[in-house]
A and B are shown apart, each in its own frame.
Chain A
Amino acid sequence: MVRRILFGAVAVALVVLGAYAAFFVAPEERTMGDIQRIFYFHAATAWAGETAFFVCFLANLLYVWRRAAKYDWLGVACAEVGLACITVVLITGPIWAKPVWGIWWTWDARLTSTFVLWILYICYLLLRSLIEEPERRALLSALFGIFAFIDVPIVFGAIRWWRTQHPAPVIMGGEGSGLDPVMRKVFFLNVLAMHLLAAFLIVERYLLERAKGAIQDLQREAEAQ
């Protein structure tokens, strides 16, 4: 318990430090000005969400292969945390877009594929809430989770493959892209912070699902007696 509290405290402290660095350490961006400071939170949260979906995908594959409940618990934990991250991305993006583009939203490839990703993982969680029987729920949601993950590489590639309103990538964007060295450090500090926060929430959600599974087993045993 102490380790879990410590883990959470370190994650929150790093998130606060990341915000401090985004506001007071990172230099002002030349064309967009200060509004670009949202980038450190917006993009770092997007990366953390996509990592959570990747782990969810691995857990779904492992569940289909091994049929062990722990992979189902990990899958749902990662899906919920990933969904929380993408919700933040879909809120912070338009707040950044409005002063820069003059519009809150446009249906370009990056924004649309991100919105579809959000809908897909809502469906994943809805599907789970509709099936009573635990093994059937775990298998069907794992299969759906594997399908839903197809959108993650599309979100990643959208700004590389197509011309979009969304800015071109500044990290892993190839020739001509890149960040100022201080901006880069601040960005990766935020990436680390958001990944730690996501990991903390995944652990907490996993332990909750494990406890639920144990209770359901106990109830079944008690009812069988």
Chain B
Amino acid sequence: MMLNPCSREKEVADLLRSGQWPAACAPELRTHVSACRSCGDLVLVTETFLRARSESAGTVRIGSPSALWWRAQLRRRNAAVERIGRPIFGAQIFALVVNLFIVVAFLAYQARHGMAWLNWLEQLPQAYSLHLENLSQSPLLNPGWNLMALIPAAASLALLGGVAIYLASEKQ
């Protein structure tokens, strides 16, 4: 198929667009259109499409613009919340990693120092018969027992639990 549009197509298209075809058209141009295939196609197709457009536009019942407006506002708000929440999520992940690191470091430290607190746990059932004398001999007060290591471990676990609960509740 040869691509050879007529030089008068623009003239015809302008008349069609302005609604002046065929009433306000020169007879000479009308004669040209009836003889030129390209211009004839243009007139036929444009007239048909313009009629179809007004027919379609006339039949449709459009909804309320306010509903779309609020829908868009809601979507924008959600997108903004998501955008703001992204660095917070990053911070949560960072906190989680730091806590895990503390726990691992604590366990490694305890393993290196003979897990002294395990001995204390083994002796815990005997605490039923706990007396003041026993308490004074308790490994808790034993200088070998590293009480200071237990406190950070408990704090880490509490913190980790808090983060886990916060993450779970936020997801819900």
A and B: interacting chains: no
A interface residue numbers (CB < 8 A to B)? none
